[in-house]
Structure 1
Amino acid sequence: MSHEHAPHDEAIEHAARAGDPLSRWVAVFTAILAAIAGLLHYEEGVLQTQALLFKNEAVLLQSKTSDEWNLYQAESSKGHMMEIAAGLSGHEKQGYYRDQISKYENRKKDISAKAHEMEQQVAEANLQSGHKEHPQHMFGQALALINVAISLAAVTSLTGSRKLFVVAACSGAVGIGVSIAAILHI
């Protein structure tokens, strides 16, 4: 049974075995960034799931809101039919049709109030989804920067270039900075 290594794993092992201090720093730096990246992947997944749950809630509420407005329209149509019937009927049936018209108007008010409340719930669910999406995108950007830093560190251990290690460190630092900003937006 063989054990496969990722490309940067071999570079880290080589750096750890090498005697020069840069190689040791690269190995420690890469290990720290890999651990941070693991935590960021987890948090990004949590935020993505939460954003999707809120978005799904918004879609379901929007569907129910549409149903309420359809019911409102049906009650309105019934009320109009009663108005036509009242206009075409004799005086003895006028009271009955006016009562029916009033009943439909009252139902429309209740349905309208419920539909407006549901529209506010849809807006709130969409807003909550958006609040989760923004830091989730920031975690994705941070992860990209940290992955670049890890890759550059692996190349640094192979080349021994201190300048490349500085670039890797800058990329890692910016990635960590973006992840801190994302945490503050949660």
Structure 2
Amino acid sequence: GGATQNDALLFKNEAAIRRTEASDQWNFYQAKSSKQNLAELGATVTTGDQQARYLKEVDRYKGEKEAIMPEARKL
């Protein structure tokens, strides 16, 4: 009846929301990876203080990615 159809729509909507959340987390992870790659490139073409700044960014992005990945996999 109507209640069953409503429940089915609710489950369908919940599934769509979860897929979107998982996609968002994966996209966030990929963005951090791209930024990390750019920082690694910057570290290879610079020296001194600039290189140190890029290496610090690389470490930061690695840490951020480690925090994001479990959430993305959970979803």
TM-score normalized by structure 1? 0.38
Measured after TM superposition, the shift of residue 93 of structure 1 is 2.5
* Structure 2: runs of 5 or more not aligned: none
Residue 63 of structure 1 is aligned with which of 20, 35, 48?
Answer: 20
Residue equivalent to 1:75: 32
Q: Letter of the aligned partner of 2:20 in structure 1?
A: S
Residue equivalent to 1:105: 62
Measured after TM superposition, the shift of residue 63 of structure 1 is 1.1
- 1:25-59 deviations in Å (ceiling 9; x for gaps): xxxxxxxxxxxxxxxxxxx3212211210111110
- Tell me whether 1:89 sits opposite 2:46 in the alignment: yes
Alignment of 1:98-177 (within 5 A): 98-118=55-75
TM-score normalized by structure 2? 0.87
Q: Letter of the aligned partner of 1:83 in structure 2?
A: E
Residue 4 of structure 2 is aligned with which of 47, 72, 77?
Answer: 47
- Percentage of matched positions with identical amino acids: 37
Q: Separation in 1 of the partners of 2:41 and 2:17? A: 36
Instruction: State the structure with bigger RCO (CA 8 A, min sep 6), 1 or 2.
Output: 2
- Root mean square deviation, CA, Å: 1.3
Q: Separation in 2 of the partners of 1:116 and 1:47? A: 31
- 1:66-124 deviations in Å (ceiling 9; x for gaps): 11111111110000000000000013323221110111111111111111122xxxxxx
Larger radius of gyration between Structure 1 and Structure 2? 1
Q: Letter of the aligned partner of 2:67 in structure 1?
A: D
Q: Separation in 1 of the partners of 2:69 and 2:9? A: 28
Residue equivalent to 1:123: none
* Structure 1: runs of 5 or more not aligned: 1-43, 119-186
Q: Separation in 1 of the partners of 2:53 and 2:18? A: 37
Q: Letter of the aligned partner of 2:64 in structure 1?
A: R
